Structure formats: C-alpha cells, structure tokens
Structure 1
Amino acid sequence: MPRFLRDFRVPLAATLAAVAAVAGTYLAAEQYVSAETRTYYKVMVNGRFVGEISSRELVADLIEDTRKRLEEANLHTKVRYALREPEITFQSEKAYKAEPDDEGTLRRVAASLETYPVGVKLFIDGKLVGVVRDEQTANALLERVKDRYINGLEPAGKPEVRVLSYQADSPDGSGSSGSGAGGDAESAPERQLLSVGFVETVNVVQAEISPDQVQDPEELYKKLVTGNPAPVKYTVQPGDCISCIARKLNVPKELIYRNNPWIENDLIRVGDELDLTLEKPLLNVETAELVTRTEAIQPQVVYQDDSQMIKGQTKVISQGKPGEQLVTYRVVKLNGQPVEEEQLSVKVLFPAEPKIIARGTKVVRGVGTGKFAMPVLNYRITSNFGQRWGRQHNGIDIIGNKNIMAADNGVVEFAGKKNGLGNTIIIDHKNGFKTVYGHLSKISVKKGQVVEKGQVIGIMGSTGNSTGVHLHFEIHKNGKVKNPKDYL
C-alpha cells in the first residue's frame, strides 16, 4: 500500500465516526418531535373561527347532549322548542405539543346554538285552521272528531281508515289521503264499521311557529265540529208551531228538535226561546257501515172470486201471517246522518203466509159496488162537510153540470120533498150505504126504482133552504153520516 494512503486512513475513519454520531443525534431528535406532535381542529361556526379543539366528537357530543336536555325540558312546557344547529366545519391542524382550549371552544360553540318554537299546523283543504303542540295532539284531535260519529262501532274485518299525511316544514299543507272498506255480511253483527274518513283533505305539518299560535285542543275540537257559528235565537210568537217556524225561517225541523231537546210532544209556548244555530263543521266525517236488521215480510193479498157473493162484497178467508227476513245494507252517513243506502243481501228466515180474500162476482140489480162516483160532472165543491155557520153540515155542496147521477147502484128509498132539502132523493145501496141528493129542481125517479151507477136521477136546483143552484150530497154508512170526500 502506498504511504499516502496509509497516512489518509486515520483521518477518514475519524470523519466517518463523527458523521455517524451526528446522524444518530438528529434521528433521535426527529423521533422525539414526531412523538410530541399532536393533531387538533380549528372550529368554524357559520364561517367564523371560534376556537380549537382536540376532537370533533366533543362538538358532536355537545350538540347531542343539548338536544336531549331540550327534549326533556319539552315534556314540561306548553310549547315545544327545537334546536337550530349552525353550520359547523372543522380544519385539521398539527403542532408540536399542541394544547387546544377544548373547554373554551365548546363554551363558544354552545353559545352559538339557538332554539326556536315548533308546533303542528292543521290544514283542511290547504287552509290553515289551527296549531297544536305536537303531532300526537293533532292526531288525537282528529281521531276524536271521527269517534264522534262512529260511537265505538266494531270494525268489519280490518277497516281501511283514511291516512293523514305528515310533512315537516311544508307550509302549503299538501299531501295525500285514501279510504276503503271491507267486511262479511253473513257474519256481521247488527252494525259494523266498514270505513271512516274525512270528506276534506287533511294534513298535519310540523313547522316553526310563534308561541302564541298554539291553541287549546278543546277549543279547536269545537271549531272543527261546529264551525263556531254565531248563535241564532228565536222567540216563539202567537200562532207559532214547530213546522210553522221551520217554514217561516227555512230551517229543517230536525234542527229545531236537535238543538232544543226540551221540546216534548211538539209543545211550545209564546215567549219560549229556541236555539236555531246551524252548525257548519270544518271537518265532515263520512262513514260506511254494514247494517243487518230483521224486517217483516208483509203478507201478499190473494183474491178468490166467489160467484155466490154479491159483486162488491168481500170476505177475509185468511188473515195471513207476516214473514221475517234478514236484510243487510251498506249505509253511508255524513256526520252521522244517512245519505245513501244500498241493499247487499236478503235472507228469508221464514216466508209470509198470504192474506186470502173472497171477492163477490154475483151481479144483483140494486146492490151497490161500494165504490162511489161523483154525482156531478165538471164539478166544483163549494162547501165542505163539518161545522158551518155554527152547526153541522152533513154533506158537501156541489155545482157543475145540472144532471144529477146516482153515485152507485141501488134502490130509490125516497123521492119527494124534505124540510130544508127541498126536492130530495135517497138511494139505498143495499150494502150498508145510503146516499142523499137535495135541492133538486126535478126528480126523475120514483120510490122502489132500481138505479144504476151513473144513471141520471134528477136535475140540480135550489129548492128548500138554499142560497143558490147546487146539489147537497150526503153519504151514510150503517146509519151514520160520513164525509163524502172520504169515499169519492
């Protein structure tokens, strides 16, 4: 080895040893600094720097804790409050032995949190009608409105009830609803509920409100079912009656009875005050019910001709017997009042037995049919049966064509003058009936003569106690005077 190389070997070794020592020291220092470097976060609230924090979870925990404490507080307040969260962003940073101010930063974040009052708005056909505390209160209120008209009816199977939509922060109250029905008529009890729903579109919407908007549920319920109409009172006047008042004021009689349950037997007195307030519900409830009821089957009338009986005579051979049937209906009601009824099925429990009547066909001259015809053509009644001028008027007065006709077949029992009636004809119809024709100007038949229904028996006049030309006509049955209008 050359000498200059041997001379250089000693300084080179020393240099390498020094370099190694320096490198070791630097590496140890770097490891120490790296171990003491910590990550932290700059916290920005709505774009504004509020501090530094060691962990983002601390902010999340703060917000969650605040929300829970707010929910607990809401259990004891009339108005609920919600947490309005600001926009919080984080910027990750690193620094040697960083010690962020967690407590101060959290305090400033907490100060930025705000609460605001919330409630549930009730919309009917898109119109705001009220505000209540929460969704539970709103749904309970709506169920109460429906319960007013279903009265605890048992559902037929599983009724499809119209569903109320729920939306958050949608002030237009838009949404959807649906309804349906189902049931088994044969196994149904007397009444079963098929469906129930509102006629109007109903939505409950959670939204920010003013605290003074929250209403008492009881007052809102009354508003929904009545419309809060202005009271209408009426004082009974002389001559009033229930139907008279209904006609005069154009209100249903049912309204008078419903609003004034103290009325008994239609008895009202002058000075009585009637409540005629007409409710106009904001919410109308439509129900469909399955109604099964037992109904009587009326006996069919069967006539049997009998040649041995005089024509016009009848005789009941058998009264018959009503039957019974089970009828099932689908009944649609609006606010509890039936508006539509559809018969679904009929099951005869036992049939009716017919009522059998023998009907005479034997024609005998002079025997009446029992059915009377007006004795004057083109007639007009000028005075009725009953009290007239302080005494009983036993017939009716008729004007018209001057020819007087027999009202039914019969035999002339009397033809002559009678006090008050002047020229008079009495016909015996041989079936318990007699007819009287008075004030005639001319008599065209005689006693004992057989006359037929529609036969001219005389001419209209004004004889006897009469104020003008007319016919006085009477009908007697078994010796008792009757109102002719009941038989003509």
Structure 2
Amino acid sequence: MKGFKSKLGMGNTPEQDQSRDPQLEVQSEQQSTDQPETSSPWYTITVDSIRQGKHKMRRRLMIAAGSLVVVGGLIWAGTQYVTANTIPYYVVSVKGQAIGTILHQEELQQLFTTKRAAYQKKYPKATMVLNTNGITTTEERAYKAQVNSANTLKTLDGMLTAYAKSVDVNIDGKVIGVVKDQKVIDAALEQVKKKYTKKAVSAKASTKTSKKAYPKQVTGLESVTLKQKVSTTEIKANPNKLLSSTQLAKVMMTGVESPTTYVVREGDTISSIAADHDITQEEIFANNPKIDEMAMQIGDELMLTVPQPPITVTTFEDYSEQIVTEPAVEIRKSETMREGESKVVAQGSKGLKRIDYRVTKQNGQMLREEWLGQEVTKKSSPKVIIKGTKVVQGEGSGNFMWPVSGASVTSPYGQRWGKTHKGIDLVGSSSVMAADDGVVSYAGTMTGYGNVIIINHNNGYETLYGHLSQIDTSTGAIVEKGQHIGVMGNTGHSTGTHLHFEVHTGGVIQNPLGYLP
C-alpha cells in the first residue's frame, strides 16, 4: 500500500498538487496519524476522477471560446459585406402614387431644369413655370437594390406640365383677356389713346400749312383720360391664350360682343323701332348713317347696337372755325319812296369771323360741342339800302337780333350724326323773340320740330323757331323785332330744353351765325 501511495504521490504534477483541496489534505494527515496506515482505493479513484473532469471542462471551455471567436468573426465579416452592398436610393411619387426609383436627387433636378428650358423655348414670349406640385421623393436603403433611374425619369418627363405666369385684364369687373404682365397692358393702353388722338394731332398740324380759308380745324388737344379703371390678378394660364399688346388694344377698342341687327317689317318707323328697343332715334341714325327713313324698305337691316368697347377714351379738343359774315344792312329811309320799294346804293362786302369750340369726344365720337366765343378777323362793310317810308306792315329790315337774351350756342350749324343740322341750338332766357319784323306764316306742330313758329319777313328771309314749350302768337299775326312770341321747350325730336333757330333766304337754308351780330 505504501508503494501504491508513493506511486500515486510521485505521479502528481506540481499543478495537480496545487489544485488539491487543503481540507482534504488535513484529513488525510490526521487519519495517518490517528490510524494505522492502510490503502484506500475508493478515495484515490474519486480524487483522480475529479481532477480529470476539471481538465475536460477546461478543454471544453477553451474549445467553446474558440468557436465563439470564429463565429463572431464570421458574423462581423458578413455584416461588413452586407453593409458594403447596401445602397441608398429614392422613391419618386406623384400625388402620393409611386412611379419609380432614382439613385440621386440631382437627376430629378436636372430633369426639371431641362424640361423648364424646353417649355421656355417653345413659348419664348411667355414666362413659363414648371408645375412640380405633388412630386415628392422618399429616401430608402436596400441590399443590392435594383434602381432604374432612366425609366423613372422617362415616365416623369411625360407627366410634367407647365403654365405661363400671367395676369388677367379686368375692366369694371369683367375680364377681357390674359397677358404676360403689366407692361403689355400699358403698351395696349398707349395704342388705344393714340388711336383716338392721332387724328386730332394730325389735324392740328395741318392747320399750320393749310391754305384753305375757312375750314373747321383742331387748334389744340387739351387732355386725354380713361373712364374705366383697369385692374389685374396674377393667374396661371395656357401660354397659347396670352394676348399681345396689339391684340389687347383691339379688344379694348372693339369689345367682344356682336352687334344687334333688326330687319324692318311692314309698318315700322324709326320712332317705333326706337321705342320697341328702348333706344333713341339718334342712336339708330348714328349706327346707320346712310339710312333714309322715307326710303326705308321692308327687309332692310338696321344696326341697333354696336359692340361697346370696354375702354372709354375721353378727349377734349379745341376747334376753331372761320365763317363768312354777311355785310350788315344799312337802311336809309326815304319819304319819297313807297313802303316796299327799295334801292341798293352800296353792295357792301363780306367779312370773316373765327368761332371757337371745345369738343368732348368718347372713343372718337363727339359727345358734346361747346361754343366758346367768336372774334371778327375781317370786318364787313354794310350794304346800304334806301327804302320808302310809306307804311307797309310786316316787312323786316334784314338786320336780325338774337332770338334769346343771354344766348349761348350749344350746337352749331353743320353736320351732326351723319346729317345736316339746319340751324343752331340756343340756351339762355326762356323767352323767345322775333328776330326781325315780319308776319307769322305758321304757328303749330311739325314733325321733328315739335311746337314751331315760322316768320316770313317779306324781304326774302324766313326764320324758324322750334322745340317750343308754348306758342304765344298765331298764324297771320304781324310781329315786330324783339317781340315775345313763345317759350323755349323740349318738344319734338329734342334732347333737352333749348331753341332751334333757322334762317332761310330764297328757300335756301343758311348758317344763322352769319346773320347775327
């Protein structure tokens, strides 16, 4: 047994001795002291087994640790590989609907730049804006992602639209067109103004070189104004709808509505047509300058309205007209000659006087003509007539007076609405007086004139007084120069209270201003 123990003891390595449990060593020494030496196979085998188990456990732990290191290395290497092959990309969506993928956002911006330039080249006169609203990108990452930028950009290219940055033209609440910007509107307005003022300017220039003695000419263009206010609103528009300044000017001057026409029927008159359509007879004559009411036939077409320009250009022009003044008549009485007998001893000579007007026009059409005054530029010499003084009642002297006190001419003699205005219209005192001695040849109503008085002056002259509200004489009455004969009014074809005054000689209409002092 000693030899066995010694062999066991000799067989242990220092490391194995160090691993012995001290408690177990103390017990062994006590047993060897207190008891006789005896061999213990069970004890020896158990200790050795424990030692061998510990060695195996260490080996297993070492193997497991090594395995973990290897697995960790493999996992790390795999992770690095996946990371290296995971790429970022972008999903492109239009109004929330994905249409494809791209690698870089710069590709999208380049498409926008190219497309915008293409639209601008196609519409060089417009300011084009690319419509990119609703186009979004979302960043994604994936292992070996399959990204097809070309197809995505091609699809998006076909979906891109553009609009023209523009403004609408609003006049009195009504849009008449769409233009690029305010500069186009300003240019159009200048063209409109030029349209209605160039005639006046040309006429003014012609007066400096004209050799004509007595034309009515423009002497000045006082001012030009626009009646309506033009406003704008920024909008997105189709570039094909944009108007140029010339096109906009045409719309401003002609409007967009079609004229209203009327086909004449049996029994129609100008007055009945005017009443049925709530317009004036003057408007019908103005729209149809060649119409002759007496020759109007069934089936004739009348233009009742014309397209109304949305822009109203008001011009104030100064006119002057030189007219020939008839020589004053100087009557020398002779008691040796019978009343009614006369003898011209001096023919006299005609003179000249300049009459000044201010004309208000809207879109080139005369709205109002004001008589500003007159100036004699060449004096006439009187015509001297010797007349008998034997009593002959109702014969005029040939020298006329103004039939209205404080008279002012509101409409002169000449062309108006395509027709000749046969006399002059006067306002002033309401009392109407005989312009010279004579006999009332007619006192009553007459078509167009309303209440009218005609005086035969029994010397080749007749005078007419129209639109009276009251007639204060009668047919056959002998009247004297300056005698009250009626009251100014608005009867007949009249547009306001005034006196219409005419002078006739030998049955021929004359300009009354040539006979009034």
Q: Which bracket does the TM-score occupy, shorter chain normalised? A: 0.3 to 0.5
TM-score normalised to structure 1 length = 0.41
Structure possessing the higher radius of gyration over alpha carbons: 2
Which one has the bigger helix percentage? Answer: 2
